[in-house]
Structure 1
């Protein structure tokens, strides 16, 4: 630690010659090292199991266990810190030196050992041990930081899982039957939380509002925006629904779809004021006559799956909400015949790539809708997800997948 008194390094001297050990030990003690002696490799390895020596100076040629054999065993010992191993030898052949290095030796000293050379080699070893200690300290700091990050990630992951549950509650009803038809909703975020939103609300006994939203980006910010938009298009709180207006005492009406888009656009610039935008497909549906008034604001073209099996794409494209302050929007009108279905779908479906990167596109979606035309409601949407997964070769969807499906089935006596 900075400011702490330096601790003398521990050195183990191993030599079967008492005289050699004495000479080396004397030199080392004078240099400030704490010295322990061993007369054999067997004795030395036993000492190393009890003490983590900083340096080991071992003779190569000893009876019984050689210095090289001792070095190999020394390297196999569990240690917290590195031990610098020096072989003392009269060998000078390159092959023998290579064997020593392969066996785990860090350096060599020729016998008889020069005190000056010994001190120089140990100073070099000191630098290596210092770097190793610094790396160990930094690794501990990194490990502690990673543990802290892991704890934060786990906490965030738990929060995101809870946020996903809460976001799913924004779509309270996944399916509802009306006397004149049925609404079915699909919402599948690509991550913990997503930026897609689908839903519907009753305007009055005859009319229904159906919408599909895709907020730019991903993650928490997008999820928070979908929560805000859910409140603005809620059927649970009609007084706060931006599409509805008072038509008289106790009566309510609805703004035209293009005006709904303009009101949302003004809200983004005048009140919300964030660096986000969203695409929207919003349809006002006459449940008795099958008339549709629709606005498309940057969202994929809504599809009408005809009872006979054909697929028509409707809409004029339009600009996303919150992108240009004075953007204008157009109404598209269409009509559903009995048995037709209106499908508002996010770009997570039409832009879903296959393994080669080829997007599904409108033609691919048409094939899927046509192939599953015999299915209804939630079963139809589940089949769509299965076919989309097959298109992407079973991989995770890179974007949120969502859709709002309305199936038109008026009473026979009301058919026009």
Structure 2
């Protein structure tokens, strides 16, 4: 029977402990040949592989080349004491843990403390009982087993983390491409329709988001506006907004023979979500149709934050009654609100990413905060106003964006503004 499969005497090991996956290698260090042989025979019979070292220098060579699992070393030796050997052993770069046992005839507690401080795991007093030595080495093996399991677990974690990083890189690349596609849903950020001008703000909290804003000219005298905020975040919300954008494109497309009223458009969106999307998500919406010749606006507010109408005088009016989000109830009613934009007036439609922005102190911006921003920024117009509000919201929340930020600004330009724009456009030409 070969040494690798020779059975271990039952008394040599802990009966409640499973045998190791491999035979442990023990290094015995002692300048007494007789003592080395005595320990070697004891350990070999207990099922260990044993290497003998006649002096500390030989022992260190073995530690570097063979990486023994356990080291049993005498304290007093020529050239180097056992504690110094232990320190030198601990300095060797090696896989796994080497359990170090010092044997000494010293009984003073200070000496035992010195041995442990040198890095030894255990200190046994001579003469050593064979049974006690084997029990201490069995305890050392448990420590080594635990260390091996920890290292194996750590290696598995490192491998898993590397796989996750690779998967994350792939997902991030896909999300960047998805972001480009989603940005394509916002075809234009600003357009002037005669005396009317519509400007858009769209800042997702992540690479993609659940907000959608846009405008579209339905005929020579009608422009449709939509502001959508889908519940949740991430891919699901982004896919939801894409589906809503496609649905809107079909409901109020300019090629349709008649323009459906706002309430009909929102009811159709509600039915589509409930009938075909089969999801727990829902959306808040402001959908409006604006008559260019008169400035009249017909508007549906479906759970979205209240639009703000800022008059040329600077006064601000809260528009709408709130309404129900789309995608929750089949029999939901969507009430139409009408208003008229006079020259110098502007309509601001914001998502809750603006009104529900939270400061470092836990305070919410709210409608009053938005009112204050509109009043402070009254001299600004168009994209400059939207950028200023976006910056103010970011400052208020300490740069933390927990939700998508989107808005529509509709302005009925005054005569002076039209003249100024005509000069700018003429100079640019």
Fold similarity call, TM over 0.5: yes
Deviation at 1:31, TM superposition (A): 2.5
**1:198-257 alpha-carbon deviations (Å, 9 max, x no partner):** 0011111111111100000101000001111111223xxxxx2x1358xxxx77332222
Partner residue, 1:243:
252
Tell me whether 1:31 sits opposite 2:35 in the alignment: no
Residues 212-221 or 334-343, more deviating: 334-343
Distance 2:415 2:193 in 1: 10
Partner residue, 1:9:
24
**Mapped contact 1:244–1:252 kept (Cα < 8 A):** no
**Mapped contact 1:211–1:344 kept (Cα < 8 A):** no
Partner residue, 1:171:
186
Mapping of residues 300-311 of structure 1, within 5 Å: 300-311=305-316
Partner residue, 2:402:
398
- Which stretches of structure 1, 4 residues or longer, exceed 4 Å deviation after superposition? none
Tell me whether 1:112 sits opposite 2:117 in the alignment: no
Partner residue, 1:180:
195
Partner residue, 1:103:
118
Q: Secondary structure at the match of 2:343?
A: coil
Partner residue, 2:9:
none
Tell me whether 1:278 sits opposite 2:274 in the alignment: no
**1:13-36 alpha-carbon deviations (Å, 9 max, x no partner):** 111222221221222223232222
Cα root mean square deviation, aligned: 2.0
**1:28-53 alpha-carbon deviations (Å, 9 max, x no partner):** 22323222222322332232122210
Which of 255, 265, 268 is the matching residue for 1:263? 268
- How many residues align? The count is 399
- Note closer, same or farther for the CA distance 1:34–1:273 as it changes in structure 2 (3 Å cut): closer
Distance 1:350 1:370 in 2: 15
Q: Secondary structure at the match of 1:358?
A: coil
Distance 2:315 2:112 in 1: 83
Distance 1:227 1:95 in 2: 76
Mapping of residues 84-95 of structure 1, within 5 Å: 84-95=99-110
**Mapped contact 1:194–1:222 kept (Cα < 8 A):** yes
Q: Secondary structure at the match of 2:191?
A: strand
Which of 376, 379, 384 is the matching residue for 2:384? 379
Tell me whether 1:369 sits opposite 2:378 in the alignment: no
Distance 2:285 2:21 in 1: 70
Distance 1:253 1:93 in 2: 103
Deviation at 1:349, TM superposition (A): 0.3
Q: Secondary structure at the match of 1:281?
A: strand
Partner residue, 1:237:
none
Deviation at 1:329, TM superposition (A): 0.9
**Mapped contact 2:281–2:327 kept (Cα < 8 A):** yes
**Mapped contact 1:304–1:340 kept (Cα < 8 A):** yes
Distance 1:81 1:182 in 2: 71
Deviation at 1:410, TM superposition (A): 6.9
Q: Secondary structure at the match of 2:258?
A: strand
Point out where structure 2 has 5 or more consecutive residues left out of the alignment. 1-18, 419-429
Mapping of residues 211-360 of structure 1, within 5 Å: 211-234=226-249, 240=250, 242-243=251-252, 252-360=257-365
Point out where structure 1 has 5 or more consecutive residues left out of the alignment. 235-239
- Note closer, same or farther for the CA distance 1:123–1:152 as it changes in structure 2 (3 Å cut): same
Deviation at 1:55, TM superposition (A): 0.8
**Mapped contact 1:348–1:401 kept (Cα < 8 A):** yes
Deviation at 1:123, TM superposition (A): 2.1
TM-score by length of 1: 0.91
**Mapped contact 1:319–1:329 kept (Cα < 8 A):** yes
**1:92-130 alpha-carbon deviations (Å, 9 max, x no partner):** 233322222222211222212222222222222222222
Distance 2:257 2:21 in 1: 84
Distance 2:21 2:347 in 1: 80
Deviation at 1:5, TM superposition (A): 9.8
Distance 1:72 1:287 in 2: 87
Partner residue, 1:407:
411
Deviation at 1:266, TM superposition (A): 1.3
Distance 1:243 1:138 in 2: 59
**1:379-403 alpha-carbon deviations (Å, 9 max, x no partner):** 111111111111112x221100000
- Note closer, same or farther for the CA distance 1:373–1:89 as it changes in structure 2 (3 Å cut): same
**Mapped contact 2:287–2:301 kept (Cα < 8 A):** yes
Q: Secondary structure at the match of 1:116?
A: helix
